[in-house]
Chains A and B, each alone.
Chain A
Amino acid sequence: MKIEDVVCPFCGCLCDDLVVQVEGNRVVNVENGCTLANEKFMGDHRLETPIRRSGKKWERISYDEAIAETAGILLDADRPLLYGWSGTYGEAQTIGVHLAEVLGAVIDNTSTVCHGPSIMAIQEVGHPGCTLGQIKNRADVVIYWAANPIEAHPRHMSRYTTFADGFFVKNAFRERKVIVVDVRETDSSQIADEFVKVNPGGDYAILSALRAIVRGKRDIIPPNVEGVSREQLFRVAEICMAAKFGAIFFGVGLTMASGKYKNIRNAIELTEELNRHTKFTISPMRGHWNVYGSNEVFTWITGYPYAVDFARGIAFYNPGETTSVDILRRGECDACLVVASDPGAHFPRACAEHLARIPTIQIDPHVNATTHLSQIQIPVAVTGIDAEGTAYRMDGVPLRTRKLFQGSHPDDLEVLEKIYAIVREAKG
């Protein structure tokens, strides 16, 4: 069976034009997908049943047993952490937040190790952005800053920017200038009209220099700023100011480099400055599929996009204190539920070690690095393949994924609802 207009469940691009061929409960072919999408659909090797650590071995257990034991561990904990959420859909995230609320737990999503600092910058200065179609139809200048879309978001350029013809930009490849700013050459920098190679950690200074130039203060720019010549900076500023519509995309290379959220703040303020001359927007390249959806869901229920602590009864947010990495590094958390992400692969070593010390339960379709730190793993259907629900694209456009076949696993929502029911019952 061929299914059209399938929404890809891999990265924040949420390409929704995939054609997927299904035989039974297996995807056998994907058209229009990038290599990441193909691997997501085709290289799908599931854990079959829930498993529990027993000495040095794993034993298979039933779903009911795994769910009851998970609920018990969370109820026994003084400082539970519910982490992950970016790989699942909004309806499941909603139950996750309610579960955290009843438990008095901390709930956090993968922003904590990706665009968390971007969110902090937005909370200081705001965010002039737009939907991706606005860029496709209008932008004559696109800047990728510390991002390598060709490898991380392979269809970003063809669907939304460099190669995407739009209403006002009939021949994107010719009419649209692409600037790449990065610390090293990448596949993306090779197709740029202008590549700005910055010294590692030098982004903040470059952004400040560009702001100064846009403000008309060329005289104060030294001949070389963090490895970039004054002439190139002037040229880049001129391209930006001459643009009819410019769009900056920034990656984790800017967010997580030295300076962190201050870099993003500076980039946003540059965008604001440019808006006094022309139209400019800025957007984070959200990586992990529905991470933006987890920010949205957390926000409308709790008021905060990530790192929400319910221990006081109210929702409390203080990145650096209530963020997962900090809670784990301080050894504060005494049980952890991981849903739809892989902190074992992405967290600092000290945090992973703490996860291995405490009862960690993972709800995830696949065996991954976190499996090795966990007590229990509950396999579920893969959202976007055999489970459907809402996901938010990196620009905030919400889409509903399709269920391509009826699989044999329950989905995240079913499992979480059962845990929630037990916890609610116990908490009265």
Chain B
Amino acid sequence: MPGILIRNAFVIDPLSGVKGEVMDIAIRDGKIVEEASTDAVVIDAARCLTLPGGIDSHSHVCGTKVNFGRYMSPEDMRAGRTARKGVMHVTSGYSVPTTFGNSYRYSTMGYTTILEGAMAPLEARHTHEEFTATPHQDMLANTLFDGNWSIMEAVKEKDVKRAAAVVAWTLSAVKGFAIKLTNPGGTEAWGWGGDVNSIHDQVPHFGVTPAEIIGTMIQANELLNLPHSVHLHCNNLGVPGNYQTTLETIGLVPDLNRDRQSLYLTHVQFHSYGGSTWRDICSKSEDVARAVNNTPQVVMDMGQIMFGRTTTMTADGPMEFKLYMLHHNKWSNHDVELETGSGITPVYYGRKSLVNCVMWSIGLELALLAKNPWQCLLSTDNPNGAPFVKYPEIIALLMSRRFRENERKMIDPRTEHFVPLFAIERELDWYEIAVMTRAAQAKALGITRIGKGYLAPGAEADVAIFPLKPDEIDPSVDYQQVMAGFSRTRYTIKRGRVVARDGEVVVEGANSTIWTRANVPPAYDMSSDPEFTKKFEQYYTVRMRNYPVQDIYLPRGVRIDTEASL
């Protein structure tokens, strides 16, 4: 391959300390290099904004519940259809697009890496099958441990090392990337139709609390030296007054890692509510942002909601049932034996709903009140807050106070009594947006070690060139242009190949799946542990030998090996 030379690029590369310089970028053999070969294809970036490929650190795009969201929603499939064109397959869907739909739309927005937010280990093979059909992004899978019986037993025994050993076996078996806890303890309680209402509630039968599960798993994660931290969906999602739970949870987090956070809090907008009912719900973004600002060992993502229709889907089964009771729209649920749960229900976030307007404000506030952009990543918890195609609009809202003021006129006029948003003057700049959409994700996920999230020599050549000239436009005023620019790259380059141009995908993709294997001493190898194997003999409905995901499901697997400190 001749390689590529991008000339005249307006580069922001936060991890390399580049904060907006016009420079050239040379690419060869899928990597960024010092110098291009003489026959390199030259792309004139014409001083357009050039960033590392986008990384989504929390998105629901592949796997059992995502596909069930499609399965149960032909109306959503009809809402976003494209025909076969060139190398592009047919796509369907708006809030839960088909795998190719997700892949093409992300690619034309400059995204090259996505972390699937929740994979049930028992159904991991399904997630990996869909990863293969999402060909333009490298994929990673958060692996659910929130209701894992073996984990809860280890927590009960206060045996952190055993918990770590269970994680190591499971991640390796299901080719997962990181530990995900979704409403820890709550998904097991939901097995009986219940839930936990605080981090100190006991999980029925298992005699452990969410706080104990979270604390143990944070430590186990560090014993295994995993690239990412524990990735937590807090308890009490969507409940008025839940900011207390969130603050208590943040208060639990020790600082155990020099290179990254010790806990990743996802979709924090859904966890920053004051009040006690839907009538008096208000924003507690200031309290939560203050706690995050004072706790450098945590990172959060926004979980912004945007007005319009979408489909909610999460492993948090009890929460989805509550949402169903509220909306009476169709509802699906899928509990997974010994492991976790899940639920799905469509929602409409309306500008005329005060509650929705408060939620919309909170997400933006978190991003504007977090002092350090490395601690607050841009997300919608796709598709829970909104489909990811709304990211450009969120960027524009964060960069333009004028845009926010214009929106203020369109929403429920009472909103301003419940939220501080309109008193916040801050407008984010290009650099902060670059941090919040790629660099901070790479750092938080711990994947800079495999060349993700930056553009210095040696990095993976994942590059996005946007039709935006930072010297010429003022995002505070020209927010429409910002929105349009982030919606469609001029070029998306993935592993050194131009994969999308001006809104169209131009090649067939060949992605990688990134997973983690923590090597543990033989004494901690769960495959021969009698208690652990008994679970398969007696309680799972799948034989232990048939459980692990075979290598064939990862045609281009990238394994990150770690040595456990056990």
Q: Interface residues, chain A, CB within 8 Å of chain B?
A: 4-5, 7, 16-17, 90, 94, 98, 101-102, 119, 122-134, 136-138, 159-160, 165-168, 244-245, 272, 275-276, 278-279, 281, 295-296, 299-305, 310, 312-315, 317, 390, 392, 396-400
Contact = CB atoms under 8 A, between A and B. Distances in A.
B337 A301 contact: no
B255 interface: no
Nearest to A165: B538
A398 B67 contact: no
B100 A396 contact: no
Interface residues of B, number: 60
Contact of B82 (A125, A136, A314, A398): A314
B477 interface: no
Interface string B201-217: 00001000000000000
A102 B192 CA distance: 47
A310 B100 CA distance: 16
B290 interface: no
Contact of A128 (B62, B99, B331): B331
Contact of B539 (A137, A278, A295, A314): A137
Contacts of B538: 165, 167
A166 B539 contact: yes
23 contacts: A16-B546, A101-B90, A126-B333, A128-B332, A128-B333, A131-B122, A131-B541, A132-B541, A134-B335, A134-B336, A244-B192, A245-B193, A272-B331, A276-B325, A296-B67, A299-B71, A299-B98, A300-B129, A303-B92, A304-B77, A313-B83, A313-B84, A397-B541
Interface string B523-566: 00000000000000011111101100010000000000000000
Nearest to B338: A133
B343 to A, nearest CB: 8
B64 A396 contact: yes
B100 A398 contact: no
A304 B84 contact: no
B333 to A, nearest CB: 4
Interface in B76-97: 77, 81-84, 89-93, 97
What does DSSP make chain A's interface, helix, strand, loop or mixed? Answer: mixed
Contacts of A136: 337, 539, 541
Nearest to A280: B193
B89 A101 contact: yes
Contact of B123 (A17, A275, A396): A396
Contacts of B89: 98, 101, 301
A245 B191 contact: yes
Given A129-B332, A245-B193, 15 more contacts: A16-B543, A123-B71, A123-B72, A128-B332, A129-B334, A130-B336, A132-B541, A245-B192, A275-B321, A299-B70, A300-B62, A301-B89, A397-B541, A398-B126, A399-B546
B73 interface: yes
A119 B71 contact: yes
B521 interface: no
A132 B538 CA distance: 13
A359 B288 CA distance: 67
Given A131-B122, A132-B337, A16 B82 contact: no
B68 interface: yes
Contacts of A310: 90
A3 to B, nearest CB: 11
Contacts of B18: none
Contact of B542 (A168, A396, A397): A397
Contact of A126 (B64, B72, B205): B72
A279 B193 contact: yes
B447 interface: no
A128 B129 CA distance: 24
A118 B123 CA distance: 22
Contacts of B98: 299-303
A397 B90 contact: no
Contact of B332 (A122, A131, A166, A392): A122
Given A301-B133, A303-B70, A133 B99 contact: no
A124 B543 CA distance: 35
Interface centre among B70, B337, B543 (most CB of A within 10 A): B337
A98 B97 CA distance: 17
A172 to B, nearest CB: 12
Contact of A281 (B62, B335, B540): B335
A301 B331 CA distance: 23
B77 A315 contact: yes
Interface string B318-348: 0001001100001111111110000011000
Interface centre among A90, A137, A303, A310 (most CB of B within 10 A): A303
A125 B330 contact: yes
Contacts of A130: 333-337
A245 to B, nearest CB: 7
